[in-house]
Structure 1
């Protein structure tokens, strides 16, 4: 079994987990908190069977042609279907099964990226839908000295006085161009951060008609956290809606949230954007913020 750090957890795994930070030989005495194992081959069930279901305390995730992931708070058993593409098996482990396990452990999981900016000991999260540019932002920030925490999904954990963020910090996925598939790009060990306290959350949009950074009110921040949950069907299936709503309120209360309005015509981060993100990470209010914003619309389910 390989040993690594995934979402701040010491993990033993039978299968590659791209993005997990490998453990050094000196860390061999650490006790595994999470195990990912390959079980017996999966014989496909009826095509009309649900993709997700609960059974005997386990969350089952069974995408057609791939296999079944049996998730519990302390591990995942993967039953691979015959002729399944190994890259797809690994990809769905990262994209769905691991986030499902995190929900089961009581974490709050966002569809977002995160980085620790130079000169700050607090992280900034960049949330938004697929294709909005989160990985591009991460690539540019790490190129300017930031440390990567997560690329596509972040795990938020609440303690008595703070919110911490963790993820898969070993690299990110980014394509050379819009029409090309995304490729994994590892970052040097010095450019990784396994876990950090959260300083700010930025919800990325493509609205160029507003000021670049816009503070969001408490209610608006709660709504955006709900909209940007990662794999939101999972906590709903687990009956966690009420407790996760409480978590949203706590996160919105403790961590300042902003809209970050960017347009497709401005893919490169400007010096003002770099400066603003650094200020937000340090907890400094940006003087050009246009005021408090609210949002409308229903949260994603």
Structure 2
């Protein structure tokens, strides 16, 4: 079994603060389209790798009132997966919360959208294995209740997977507005894998790496630095092993350069010489920090 775990696509992200009268038009187009480009690459990989299914864990859109362009693009990509008979399971998050009737979304038949109450759907794979996937969609921007309590215990399916857009949180944390949970609550369900969304930093919450945030698929500012993409999760014996795959066309990062007393006139050469040595292979947006050792 092999599937893709992706979250926080943030299609239609406005990239606030980047557009101005000095930025070249072609560069702005690359920035504006970067979230779309990253997701299209994920769909390409799903088809090329012939995955069993795709999980999209919340915040597919950057805002609830997203554009027609973003909606049309998502449907186009879902249809591509449908053409290859690849199921897609979607849970909406706090940015793209949805409380309407899911059958009115116009998504293709391969796409299952979780409603506002926790539900479980079972996939029958081509090899006969059964995969039970549990999840829910945000019906409003704020969910302070621990919805994790509504998730069922693991069933007798071959694999049990949970989809949850939310945060590890304490009572006094601002993250408690987003379906808070603790690690024990996840582990007690007995699932084989937890596909998490909402936190944009890719990370595993347990040593076995079966409880994971995939991070967002495209960094949108300097605080979302490094490679971004998705997790390819594959069954190895009876364990699910995630592997990160980068798809973001733009990388944000902070570069530290040692400043050893060069004059103001010498600094540009020092900076550009250092940057040239890094051999960037894709578009990078950099914050350069000069570290003085005087």
TM-score by length of structure 2 reads 0.27
- Structure 1 or 2: more strand by fraction: 1
Q: Point out the structure with max Rg over C-alpha.
A: 2
